[in-house]
Structure 1
Amino acid sequence: MTASLVVTGFVGAAATPSFAGAQVVIPTAAQDQPVVLKGATIHTVTKGTITNGTIVMERGKITAIGGPEVATPRGAKVVDLTGKHIYPGLIDAYSTVGITEIGAVDVSSDINELGDFNPNVRPEVAVNAESRHIGTTRSAGVLVAFATPGGGLISGLSSAISLEGWTWEEMSMKGAAALNVNWPDPNARPRRGFGGPPGGFGGRPQPAPKTYAEQVEEIKNFFGEARAYRDALKAGQNVRTDARYAAMIPALNGEIPVVVAADGVSQINDAITWAKQEGVKLVIRGGRNALDVAARLKAENVPVILTATMSAPSRSDDAYDEAYATPAALFKAGVKFAIAGDGDALYSYRLPWDAGVAVAFGLPEEEALKAVTINAAEFMGVADKVGSLEVGKEATLVITTGTPLDMTTNIIQSYIQGREIDMNDMQKQFFKKYMEKINQAKKKIAS
């Protein structure tokens, strides 16, 4: 049994073993002085590239962007970035950063809840601001993540978080950003409902395994019940408050997307048909076989969040580069997509390279950059805040020696909402520690 996301908000940082050299990262205070970044090549993503560019950041927002002619506000801190590059902070549209720490320690994981229907689960309240994964993720240029619950058929809401702050309240950008549905797999063995092991507890009979059709019907019924609840409230009827149905109203009204986890062709097709019947805004997550449904995805204007761009072939007759080449093929087919990791907090720092491998296999670099910035922001409803460098948006950006999608690029500094963040992380600390060991050994040999 996992700790409750909604009730406790606990992630087991206290259960993490302590050792010498533990990570110490101090959150930065809110921006209280104008900052001007001058001389860099600015990659706005949506409005082209500016050479010898200038960005002005005030009170956490971008207030001016352009060439060297942009005026410097009085009292501003000016940073010369000649020869460097500035990009929007990267966005992981499918993440568990902050809601899980150590895979082998159950109490440090707040991803899954018991039961099949938990639409009211909101992961932001469980985010551990002290998580070590936050530092390593930020060091790769990933500054915004969508904490996403798992388990069951309707697992809960994705929460958009900025990876800087003392508490989850400071980190929260949008608590209810998307509703997550795990579409059943028609090729999987029938699954049991919650109720214990097949043999039962104390000889009590257990629920019979549920078929694909039964699981899909359960999803349809739950959405129908939530719609009836919404309509009753709208009509002014006296109904008992139900947190699960209430959490679904924004999705039913089209205010937030319904992100459906689906990989197979039949799964994706059935999810699209269902979403049209429900009248909800659909986003497919996973999309391993999305290319086989590309024509319909384009025709129905259904975007995809790809989560397996660096994985091995899924079938014995697939090409070795099936996953690597899928983004380029979807782009050529006119399908809108973002690229995310596989949801493992330990590897969220690899997001830039999930996009970079797609470039190596034919995806234009500018499209790969969009896939981890503005596309993710648009699909998940935060494009008014992040995803590109524009006046009025949050000053969330990375300063680099080159494209962040290349492993050889160094992330020099990041700003989140105008805050010049601490770039320390555990990997850097271990590097320094063991380089010191090597240096001491060299001195000993030399003496």
Structure 2
Amino acid sequence: MLLIKNGTILTMIGEPIENGQVLVDNGKIINVGKDISGTENCQVIDANGGFVMPGIIDAHCHIGMWEEGLGIEGSDGNEITDPATPQLRAIDAINPRDIAFTEAYENGVTCVCTGPGSANVIGGQFTTIKTKGIRIDNMVLQQTASMKVAFGENPKRCYNAKKQSPSTRMATAAILREYILKTKNYMENKEKNSSFDMKLESLIPVVKGELNVKAHAHRTDDIFTAIRIAKEFGLKMTLEHCTEGHLIAEELAKEGFTAIVGPSFGSKSKVELREKTFETAAVLHKAGVKIAIMTDHPVIPVHHLPMCAALAVRAGLDEETALKAITINPAEILGISEKVGSLEINKDADIVIFDKHPFDIQAKTICVLIDGEIVFKR
């Protein structure tokens, strides 16, 4: 049993608890509040007036897929040989020994959804994992978390260079429709046809609405194309990046899709990013769109996710929503909120203690727990 005391508890489900406590046992949170006492042999962690919050969650990154400092040998995120690769699984490429994982959990990022890049129209399957471990199979929360699809500049650029389709936005949309329709036909004729198609098998949960589509879209027209196709086929979908979302916030609010916003830090490195701003999250939230904030690691190193949320606050997002955008909101969007994202009884004891408010640029982690185990202590 472990007791965290003398901290401001940011539960993500209610008001902060001043000078509160969190009690942990067998990897789970068993109590949160004031005046909690542990057993006689209970291990005590003194937060020393710091801030105690749930482990931080990045709902869209590529950690372990593009490894730090390795170049082509550590680059396993884009299979640029076929514009439709739904059969690819991130779990087969993630290297837990990537130093970025250590930097992640030491700085309070305890859970990530990571997967293929956006070179292909259909890139493959994302997976959700805890950030501490030596064997990927033992880190998994969701082996198949979502199916990556991409609109706009990236598929065009990659396949135009190869002189093949898609080299236009029309072809990108057509390829996605083609594979959805092929999958529907495959499902209808499966009993009569004994031939096995791994690509179409991988898309069956998408067509059934059981598996979320992670739709890479920066520009307004690409966002609307993603929505058009999702509505056409009844797909479950999240809008990823949503860089120009602030320009169409009212329209997006009407549609009801959630947005995983970012990476908003850094230069406008391509045409699609010319409207990039940290104001996007605030404008979308105020319009009624549910948001999470991402790093798109390695675009922004994953351990800087709190900084990205803080910059969104400076650009107009309220502090409470910004905290939720890196904790409970991504957990709910990913479908893992029964385990992580807030400090509640029976949830995984993924807990971070900061010496200052997590949005203070000088804040440091005092202690980090994953599944009740202390994985870092300063």
User: Do Structure 1 and Structure 2 share a fold, with TM-score over 0.5?
Assistant: yes
Partner of 2:135: 167
After superposition, the C-alpha distances for 1:169-224 in whole angstroms (9 at most, x for unaligned) are 121111111111001349x967647xx855xxxxxxxx476432222111101011
Higher relative strand content: 2
Partner of 1:109: 75
Kindly report which structure 2 residues correspond to 1:40-439, keeping only aligned pairs within 5 A, or say none: 40-68=7-35, 70-73=36-39, 75-102=41-68, 105-113=71-79, 114-150=81-117, 151-185=119-153, 192=159, 197-198=162-163, 207=164, 210-233=167-190, 236-312=191-267, 323-344=277-298, 347-422=301-376
Unaligned runs of 5+ in 1: 1-33, 199-206, 425-447
TM-score by length of 1: 0.78
Distance, in Å, in 2 between the alignment partners of 1:46 and 1:76 is: 26
Tell me: CA distance 1:183–1:239, structure 2 relative to 1, closer, same or farther (3 Å).
farther
Report how many aligned residue pairs link the two structures.
Answer: 375
Partner of 1:39: 6
Tell me: CA distance 1:38–1:283, structure 2 relative to 1, closer, same or farther (3 Å).
same
After superposition, the C-alpha distances for 1:335-394 in whole angstroms (9 at most, x for unaligned) are 211110133177112111111101112111111111111111111121111111111211
Q: Report how far residue 228 of structure 1 moved.
A: 2.7
Q: Report how far residue 407 of structure 1 moved.
A: 1.4
Distance, in Å, in 1 between the alignment partners of 2:156 and 2:336 is: 38
Tell me: CA distance 1:232–1:78, structure 2 relative to 1, closer, same or farther (3 Å).
farther
Partner of 1:10: none
Whichever residue aligns with residue 126 of structure 2, its letter is S
- SS of 2:277's equivalent in the other structure is helix
Distance, in Å, in 2 between the alignment partners of 1:219 and 1:319 is: 26
Could you say which structure has the larger radius of gyration? 1
Q: Report how far residue 306 of structure 1 moved.
A: 0.9
Unaligned runs of 5+ in 2: none
Tell me: CA distance 1:242–1:47, structure 2 relative to 1, closer, same or farther (3 Å).
farther
Distance, in Å, in 1 between the alignment partners of 2:373 and 2:192 is: 47
Whichever residue aligns with residue 226 of structure 1, its letter is T
Tell me: CA distance 1:82–1:103, structure 2 relative to 1, closer, same or farther (3 Å).
closer
- SS of 2:67's equivalent in the other structure is coil
Deviates more, 1:109-118 or 1:172-181: 109-118
Distance, in Å, in 1 between the alignment partners of 2:232 and 2:197 is: 24
Contact between 1:102 and 1:109, CA under 8 Å: does it hold in 2? Answer: no
Tell me: CA distance 1:189–1:250, structure 2 relative to 1, closer, same or farther (3 Å).
closer
Distance, in Å, in 2 between the alignment partners of 1:129 and 1:189 is: 31
Distance, in Å, in 2 between the alignment partners of 1:175 and 1:246 is: 16
- SS of 2:102's equivalent in the other structure is helix
Distance, in Å, in 2 between the alignment partners of 1:112 and 1:208 is: 16
- SS of 2:356's equivalent in the other structure is coil
Tell me: CA distance 1:190–1:342, structure 2 relative to 1, closer, same or farther (3 Å).
closer
After superposition, the C-alpha distances for 1:259-310 in whole angstroms (9 at most, x for unaligned) are 1101111111111111011101111111111112211211111111111322
Distance, in Å, in 1 between the alignment partners of 2:269 and 2:134 is: 41
